Amino acid sequence: MTEADPQDTADLMDAERSPVTGMGSAMGAGASFLSTAQSLLARKARRGVKVELPAYLSVQATWFIAFGLQMVLFPYLITNKLGLGGVELGLANLALSGPSVIFLLIGGVVAERAAGKPLLMILHLCAALPAFGLAFALATGNLSYPLMIIYGLALGTVGAFMMPARDAILNEVVERRGRVGSGVTLQQGVAFATLAQFAAQITGLILGGYADKMTKMPDWLGGFGIGPIDSWELLTFQGLIVALGALLAAFLAKGRKVKTGRSGFGAAFGDIGEGFRVVASDPKLWSMTVLMFGVGIFVIGAFLVVLPIINRDVYGLSGDGIRDMFVTFWLGAFVSSVALSLIKRIKRQGRLLLTAQLLGSLAILPMMTEIPHWGFLIIVFIWGLSAGVSIAMSRSIVQDAAPKDQLARVLSIYQLGFMAGAPFGAAIMGGLVDAIGPYNIALVPAVGMTAMIIWMVVATPIWNLKNGT
């Protein structure tokens, strides 16, 4: 038997290797490469989706830090810097809040038709400009009342478009997060957003209290002083912090657009009309809108008018008392929001909402008697606890019930109920507190909200509402 020639063996192996076999190997290698690439892209996409919620909450925080600063600086500049009275302050507040009532519904339509990410970026940059302009006027000694009116109109208009745009995006963020395996529910997402709002607002309120004066800490905190900080510097910071929100919004997905099939000048009004029909045809949405109108009249009216009058006439305090009162209220809202954020799903959201509002309404009845200031602040804190639950639960109910292709429009109508009720409530409470005094006035919001809650239990589906139904 002869030994095989190595060259003949190699030739035989080459002859047995099929071109199809070589192609299969190449396709296998290509498939392996494609699978690896897809895996890397999927991991990158998951990272991008997971960063969206922290980015959204950070955007929310930048807006409300600026909002908290404004709550202190706006009335301070008018009453202290310009030395003007209540009539001028009232007109300036009307300039600040009026555009929200006028443009809020249009803002809901715009929020649906525009991609959320670029819209948020543009609105945050626009919100920074009035603050920078007012800071420049103040630093150069050119502050005037007409400038305050212009500032109010500009920022109020931006805010009208901001609210539905920002609130509608949250639903998308939670939905995309759920697709990559996250267990965060919409209810938790709303609670996280409310938590960020309250924490940021408290931060802004505290910073605003240092405008042009030093604040001394209590002895148990060391008794040291903070401030003063020039008010133009705080306004500059307000502009910078809200502009930062535009950069943080870059981490969000572009967002989806809604096509309604309408075009032309009347398209926006057709979309708004359709939104009203959706709200009117859904008992849950209609009930929540009416409830928010009642909250605007009885709760916000008392908050804006009655509490400052009690602060001045009963306890003899001024700006420092208002700051302590506001911080205490929003601290209570913050605490209840923390508690809600730890719960993934509340089965009876409606019952929790109405129970919290009832307890908050009854908690103000002790204000009808002469109680010490610390007791007054405890009541304000309880009121804040109730507000935190109410805001989170009402938003969750509306977000769950609203059609996803009309979410921004529905949210704008829901917000309008709240925004429209507040001016009426402030006017009614202002007249009543002068007529019946700062003690008896506590009975009005307590009775009004109790009657509203009884109606909600008896005549609407909110009390028996179950999560997801």
pLDDT above 70 (res 26): no
The CA–CA distances, whole Å, from 289 to 101, 276, 421 equal: 14, 11, 10
Give residue-wise pLDDT tens across range 182-197.
667 777 777 788 788 8
CA angle 424, 158, 323 (to 5 degrees): 60
Mean pLDDT of the chain: 78
Q: The domain 54-254 belongs to what CATH superfamily?
A: MFS general substrate transporter like domains (1.20.1250.20)
* Pairing verdict, β 225-226 and 215-216: antiparallel
pLDDT band at 370 (very low <50, low <70, confident <90, very high): confident
Instruction: Report the range of poorest mean pLDDT among 28-32, 47-51, 63-67, 241-245.
Output: 28-32
> What is the reported pLDDT for 350?
84
Give residue-wise pLDDT tens across range 376-396.
889 889 988 888 888 888 888
User: Cis omega (within 30 of 0) on the bond before 228?
Assistant: yes
* b/e code 271-300 from CB counts within 10 Å (16+ = b): bbeebbebbeebebbbbbbbbbbbbbbbbb
Instruction: Report the range of poorest mean pLDDT among 20-24, 174-178, 454-458.
Output: 20-24
The position carrying tokens 């977000």 is 399
Give residue-wise pLDDT tens across range 86-142.
567 767 877 887 787 788 778 777 777 777 788 899 999 999 999 999 999 999 999
> What is the reported pLDDT for 4?
52
Spatial contact of 120 and 106, defined as CB atoms under 8 Å apart: no
Spatial contact of 204 and 71, defined as CB atoms under 8 Å apart: yes
pLDDT above 50 (res 448): yes
Nearest alpha carbon to residue 414 among 290, 299, 296: 290
Q: List CB contacts of 269: < 8 A, sequence separation 6 or more.
A: none
- The whole model's pTM is what? 0.69
> What is the reported pLDDT for 131?
94
> What is the reported pLDDT for 431?
74
* 210/377: higher pLDDT: 377
DSSP category for residue 404: G
> What is the reported pLDDT for 62?
94
Mean pLDDT of 442-462: 88
* 54/134: higher pLDDT: 134
User: What is the distance between the alpha carbons of residues 323 and 207, in angstroms, rounded to a whole number?
Assistant: 10
Residue type present at position 425: G
Give residue-wise pLDDT tens across range 330-344.
888 888 878 877 776
Kindly list the domain boundaries of the chain, sorted by start residue: 54-254, 278-469
Nearest alpha carbon to residue 145 among 194, 85, 187: 85
What share of the chain in percent tops pLDDT 70? 77
The H or E element containing residue 244 is helix 231-248
Instruction: Report the range of poorest mean pLDDT among 258-267, 268-277, 351-360, 373-382.
Output: 258-267
Mean pLDDT of 294-301: 80
Nearest alpha carbon to residue 341 among 198, 168, 202, 205: 198
Mean pLDDT of 399-420: 77
User: What is the distance between the alpha carbons of residues 200 and 87, in angstroms, rounded to a whole number?
Assistant: 30
Q: The domain 278-469 belongs to what CATH superfamily?
A: MFS general substrate transporter like domains (1.20.1250.20)
pLDDT above 80 (res 373): yes
According to DSSP, the residues that pair with 211 across neighbouring strands are: 229
Q: What share of the chain is helix, strand, coil (3-state, %, to 5)?
A: 80, 0, 20
Spatial contact of 397 and 462, defined as CB atoms under 8 Å apart: yes
According to DSSP, the residues that pair with 225 across neighbouring strands are: 216
Say yes or no: do domains 54-254 and 278-469 share a fold.
yes
Instruction: Report the range of poorest mean pLDDT among 86-90, 292-296, 407-411.
Output: 86-90
The position carrying tokens 């076999």 is 21
